[in-house]
């Protein structure tokens, strides 16, 4: 069985993330969408809220598991007995950082391969940080995040 981990903060999950999840789910028997818990950051959504939102927006995809982790990704994939990592790339600027991370993950766990997927062109500018910034200043983020996420963001600030 071919299994891959798609890691990220998913704070919030965007339509760009969902695009990578859907497309990678066609390439692997199972995709573990793994939410990174980073205690050094102050997220918009808690890990539990992000897990719940990911479950909602991926419920129609049969081969998805939603999980969370903290610490090193190389250790997490080893613990899950997985040797493939899926990473989405929006632009050339993402590649340099992600390439460095892929090499470090392989150094820490020589069995790990990172598969880079180019984002669909309509999401090439999209990031969770940008979504949060636009939302914070009352800009329209409809179409950038799933409707369930937009509703959760609206509830969160009320």
Q: What is the pLDDT of residue 8?
A: 96
- The CA–CA distances, whole Å, from 129 to 28, 44, 122 equal 28, 10, 17
> Which residue among 17, 24, 50, 84 is the active-site one?
17
Q: What is the Cα–Cα distance from 48 to 54, expressed in whole angstroms?
A: 10
What pLDDT is recorded for position 39? Answer: 81
Which of the following is catalytic: 30, 55, 56, 90?
90
| pLDDT category of residue 91 using cuts at 50, 70 and 90 | confident
The pLDDT assigned to 158 comes to 77
CATH number at residue 146: 3.40.50.620
Distances (CA, A) of 72 to 61, 82, 116, 145: 27, 14, 19, 27
What is the distance between the alpha carbons of residues 34 and 134, in angstroms, rounded to a whole number?
25
Judged against a pLDDT cut of 80, whether residue 114 lies above it is answered with: yes
Domain carrying residue 58: 3-157
- The single-letter DSSP state of residue 41 is S
Instruction: State the pLDDT at residue 40.
Output: 80
Top pLDDT among 39 and 59 is at 59
Mean pLDDT of the chain: 94
Q: How far is residue 37's CA from residue 124's CA, in Å, rounded to a whole number?
A: 25
The reported pLDDT for the residue numbered 157 is 85
> Residue 155 catalytic?
no
Mean pLDDT (whole number) for 111-115: 95
Catalytic site residue 138? no
Quick one: pLDDT at residue 94?
84
Confirm whether 79 is a catalytic residue.
no
Active-site residue flag, 41: yes
Q: Active site residue: 26, 41, 138, 158, which one?
A: 41
Annotated binding site for ATP: 9-10, 17, 88-90, 98, 123-129
Query: Tens digits of per-residue pLDDT, 132-150?
Result: 999 999 999 999 999 999 9
Bridge partners (DSSP) listed for residue 86: 115
Residue numbering of the annotated binding site for substrate: 9, 41, 73, 87
Q: Please identify which of the residues 24, 25, 84, 128 carries the catalytic annotation.
A: 128
Residue 93 has pLDDT above 80, yes or no: no
Question: How many domains are there within the chain?
Answer: 1
Task: Check: CB of residue 90 under 8 Å from CB of residue 119.
Answer: yes
Helix, strand, or coil here: 87? strand
Pick from 19, 25, 29, 113: which is nearest to 73 by CA?
Answer: 113
Question: Which of 141, 114, 136, 139 minimizes the C-alpha distance to 126?
Answer: 141
Q: 81: phi > 0 → left, psi -120 to 50 → alpha, else beta; which?
A: left
């Amino acid at each position: 069985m071919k299994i891959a981990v798609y890691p990220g903060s998913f704070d919030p999950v965007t339509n760009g993330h969902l695009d990578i999840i859907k497309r990678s789910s066609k390439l692997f028997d199972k995709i573990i969408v793994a939410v990174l818990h980073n205690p050094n950051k102050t997220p918009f959504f808690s890990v539990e809220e992000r897990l719940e939102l990911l479950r909602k927006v991926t419920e129609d995809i049969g081969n998805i598991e939603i999980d969370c982790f903290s610490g090193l990704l190389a250790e997490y994939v080893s613990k899950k007995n997985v040797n493939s990592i899926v990473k989405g790339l929006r632009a050339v600027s993402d590649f340099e950082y992600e390439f460095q991370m892929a090499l470090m993950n392989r150094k820490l766990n020589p069995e790990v391969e990172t598969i880079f997927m180019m984002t669909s062109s309509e999401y090439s500018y999209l990031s969770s940080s940008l979504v949060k910034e636009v939302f914070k200043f009352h800009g329209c983020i409809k179409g950038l995040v799933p409707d369930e996420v937009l509703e959760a963001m609206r509830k969160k600030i009320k």
